[in-house]
Amino acid sequence: MNNIPENLKYAESHEWVLDNGDGTVTVGITDHAQELLGDVVYVELPEVGAEVTATKQFSLIESVKAASDIYAPVSGEVTEVNEALSDEPEMINDAPFEGAWIAKIKLSNASDLDDLLDAAGYQTVIE
C-alpha cells in the first residue's frame, strides 16, 4: 500500500500538490513515483520566475535506474525551489511528502486544482 496523504491533490503523472491557501501551491513527486525511480541521485530544479504550464515538463529527476521528466501539475510562476535537493537529492526517497518538495508555484488559474485527483482517485490510477 502506497503512502497517499488525504490532504493533497495528485496528477496522473505522479506529482502531488499542496494548496497553500494563498494562491500558491507546493509540488513534489509521490511515494509511488520515488519507488519506481529507485535511488535518486540528482534533481534538476526549475528556475525561480519561470512560467510553467500544466502537463508540461518543468523538472527532471535522475536515479540510478533512469532519468524521469517531472510535469507541472498546474500553470503559473515558480516562486521558490527546494535548494536542499541540490545537495541531498535522496530526500526524494526518504521523505517525498515532507522535506522533499520540488517547487512552489503561484497559480495563474486556480481552476487547475479542480483537474487534479484526490487521494482515492490517485490510488485507482496506481493500482
Domain residues of the chain, as ranges? 9-112
| Strand, helix or coil for residue 77 | strand
pLDDT of residue 1: 46
Report which DSSP code applies to 3: -
Name, in order, each residue with C-beta under 8 angstroms of 28's C-beta and a sequence gap of 6 or more: 15, 16, 92, 96, 97, 100, 101, 102
The hierarchical CATH code for the domain 9-112 is: 2.40.50.100
Q: Which three cell numbers stand for residue 17?
A: 500538490
How many C-alpha atoms does 19 have within 13 Å on its Cβ side?
16
As a whole number of angstroms, the longest Cα–Cα distance in the chain is 37
pTM of the model: 0.95
pLDDT of residue 44: 97
The stretches in the chain having pLDDT less than 70 are 1-2
State residue 58 phi and psi, 5-degree precision. -135, -5
